[in-house]
A and B are shown apart, each in its own frame.
Chain A
Amino acid sequence: MTANLTNILSLARIIFLDGIRRYALLGLLLLSLFSEAMGLFFMDFVSHDVGRASSDFLFSIMWLGGMLFLLFHAVQVIAWDEERGVIYSILSRPLSRSAYVIGVFVGLAVLLTLLLLSLGLVAYLTLNWIQDALDPIYFPVFSSSHFILTWLGIVVAQLTILSVIMLFSGLVRGGFPVLLLSLAYYAICTGLPTVRESIESETATNGGNESTLIFLKLLSSIFPDLTRLDYKNSVLSDMLPLSVTEISTDFSIVSLYAIIMMTFACMAYVRRDLQ
């Protein structure tokens, strides 16, 4: 157990070091930070509800930065290892296939969390600065604890997407197919709640469509609604949108889903021939 943990951490460290020295990732970090700093100018173009507009803008940049990391770096890591033959140097060590998948996940998770942490910090400072610069009528409340909750929501949602990327990387060869599958997955996860909502309201009004609703509910267990972890509307309010129990349940369900995806990812990779 301890040996396995040491192996996972050793691999995670090289994945982290290799990633942090990539110019593309440094570029992504700088671009995202620059875009967030632009939030200071952005507020000048908004006449009403400056706080909400700025907060939405900053969280969108944070989400986008994380997604760019996932779709242009994370989807490639296992594919690069296989295409370049690095996998043979790694798996010739006493490292199980599962430890390899978990090690890559941990390394990427640390990189992603650091990226989001830097963006979160700049977003927090920017929002504070905007609030200080404005009359309280335009930006009355800014809740630090709700800001952290929203940031945590983004981190957990994107780590969940990362676990799905690990699964796809174990199932198919090559970075591009993994990218396509991940994009399709994300599109379905984003679109499904809207479809469900629409069918639900139609069923409530006209009746029928029960089987479609059941099918959509089943689909939601495969393609979870990650917007459940989106609390950005609470950042500018003293009130939480949901109770603490409901929020904890949402986090637990999504985290459990990520653990299940990682288990499947390990199972898929253990069976794979590394030709």
Chain B
Amino acid sequence: MIRLQNIHKTYPRQLGTPEYKALDDISFQLQKGETMGLIGANGAGKSTTIKLILDFIRPDKGRITVLGRNPSYPLIRQQIGYLPEVARFPQNLTCMEMIRFAGETCGLSRSEVAKAAEKWLLRLDLWESRERLLRGFSKGMQQRASFAMALIHEPELLILDEPMSGLDPIGRAKIVELILELKREGRSILFCTHLLDDINRLVDKLLVLHNGQIRYEGYLDSFCNSEQSVEEAFLALVAKGDASL
């Protein structure tokens, strides 16, 4: 579904900001039906990786293939559902207008959009608020609206950037449950987080990024043993890597 080969990305120097190497020779792949957790501290390169996969930015070197095509090919995004880290919408639109936009751009007819909107907005507890302006939504509601937009076209591949961000414990539990359901349906999921509590319930594979480099890629079982939590294993791995530099 996703293949990154020897990706290098450096953000150029800008006024008041020095040049910054965000990714250094990154290679990995996500197979069909897999759920991969992309974890790392702030500035590790997680968001850069996601932005590259979605063609928001371009690599300096290396090759990216998403669903067998170059990510700049817009039609592949008909099979991708993306949840940004912070949900942002034009503030004067209603939830339903944004959902309609999301559905129409994926080629859904008006009736298909209405049907899918009902399904996902009910599921995400937003049905009653569908005609309210998004600027009046709480952070959690905006995040759920963004989730509905990502799922409206039943995508094969889901890219979730910090899906639990801004959610209260109840909302978070619901999203975890939803991700598990999507995983059971066989969708491929790449999700990026620095909250490690839910990782072992959600992912098959783990990719640990630190300072723009891959520190671990593999199955969760081999990442941490039964006496060690994911968080402890992550901290030990990062400390070991830093000490060897």
Instruction: Spell out A's residues near B (CB within 8 Å).
Output: 3, 6-7, 10-11, 13-15, 17-19, 21-22, 84-89, 91-96, 99, 273-275
Point out the residues of chain A lying under 8 angstroms from B107, CB to CB: 3, 6, 94
Point out the residues of chain A lying under 8 angstroms from B74, CB to CB: 94-96, 99
| A96: nearest chain-B partner, CB-CB | B74
Point out the residues of chain B lying under 8 angstroms from A92, CB to CB: 54, 77, 80, 82, 84, 150
Point out the residues of chain B lying under 8 angstroms from A87, CB to CB: 56
Contact A14 B104 (CB under 8 A): no
Which one of B51, B92, B100, B107 has the greatest number of beta carbons of chain A within 10 Å?
A: B92
Point out the residues of chain A lying under 8 angstroms from B82, CB to CB: 88, 92
| A90: nearest chain-B partner, CB-CB | B101
Q: How far is the CA of A274 from the CA of B47 in the complex (A)?
A: 12
Q: Which of A17, A89, A94, A274 contacts B75 (CB 8 A)?
A: A94
* 20 interchain pairs, CB-CB under 8 A: A6-B104, A6-B107, A7-B104, A10-B104, A15-B90, A17-B97, A21-B92, A22-B92, A88-B88, A89-B87, A89-B88, A92-B54, A92-B77, A92-B80, A92-B150, A93-B105, A94-B75, A99-B74, A274-B57, A275-B11
Contact B56 A91 (CB under 8 A): yes
Number of B residues with CB within 8 Å of any CB on chain A: 36
Point out the residues of chain B lying under 8 angstroms from A85, CB to CB: 84, 86, 88
Point out the residues of chain B lying under 8 angstroms from A11, CB to CB: 101, 105
Distance to closest chain B CB from A108 (angstroms):
13
Contact A18 B93 (CB under 8 A): yes
Contact A17 B93 (CB under 8 A): yes
Point out the residues of chain A lying under 8 angstroms from B101, CB to CB: 10-11, 13-14, 93
